[in-house]
Amino acid sequence: MNNEKYFIQQIKANEKIIHKIINLYVDDAEDEKDLYQEVLMQAWKSFKNFKGESKFSTWLYKITLNTTLTFRRKERRVIKTEGAELKASDAANERREDYEELYYLIKQLNAVDKMIMTLHLDGFKNHEISEMTGLDANHINVKLHRLKKRIVEQLKSRSYGS
């Protein structure tokens, strides 16, 4: 199988990863489409450097996350220079199923915490998260413990109104 066919096959198999990350960071449908294309372009440009030392999904996750975070930084600069204000998400006012509630809470985390929690929920081990983020594995463990505790407390307070 040539490189192009392998790349396309792996992208199709791991497409949900791209959509999940983009949806965590971007609310506008047009921006989502643009960012999806940008991720594919960045992945293809970087594919020659993929050595297979990690799973393709891990490599793609890192590319998607970095591309998305770069997009968000650029977006913030444009917003600041134009003087526009960010729209508040309607999700804060709506009661949703548990998955959507968790998704909403994760979206509220800062970029590093959001990245760590998302990687964890996608089944990556702490040492894999450490490799992708450059953070110490022990630091990842402590952060995850605190994030889980905080999210559980927020879910409880939302459910019971306390």
Per-residue pLDDT of 81-117, as tens digits, reads 444 343 433 333 343 356 677 778 888 888 889 888 8
Give the closest residue to 159 by CA, choosing from 98, 81, 115, 78: 98
Directed axis angle between helix 137-160 and helix 126-133, to 10°? Answer: 110
Per-residue pLDDT of 22-80, as tens digits, reads 988 888 888 899 999 999 999 999 999 888 888 899 899 989 988 988 887 776 554 44
Q: What is the pLDDT of residue 47?
A: 93
Give the closest residue to 106 by CA, choosing from 97, 98, 115, 95: 115
Report d(CA 109, CA 120) in Å as an integer.
Answer: 14
Cβ contact 38:30 at 8 Å: no
Please give the distance of CA 44 from its chain centroid, rounded to a whole number: 19
Return the structure tokens found at 72. Answer: 């968000």
Q: Is 84 helix (H, G, I), strand (E, B) or coil?
A: coil
Q: Which amino acid is at 124?
A: F
- Look at 95 and 12; give whichever has higher pLDDT: 12
- Look at 123 and 17; give whichever has higher pLDDT: 17
Domains parsed from the chain with CATH numbers: 1-87 (1.10.1740.10), 93-162 (1.10.10)
* Burial of residue 64, with CB atoms counted within 10 A of its CB: 0-12 exposed, 13-18 middle, 19 or more buried: buried
Report d(CA 116, CA 121) in Å as an integer.
Answer: 9
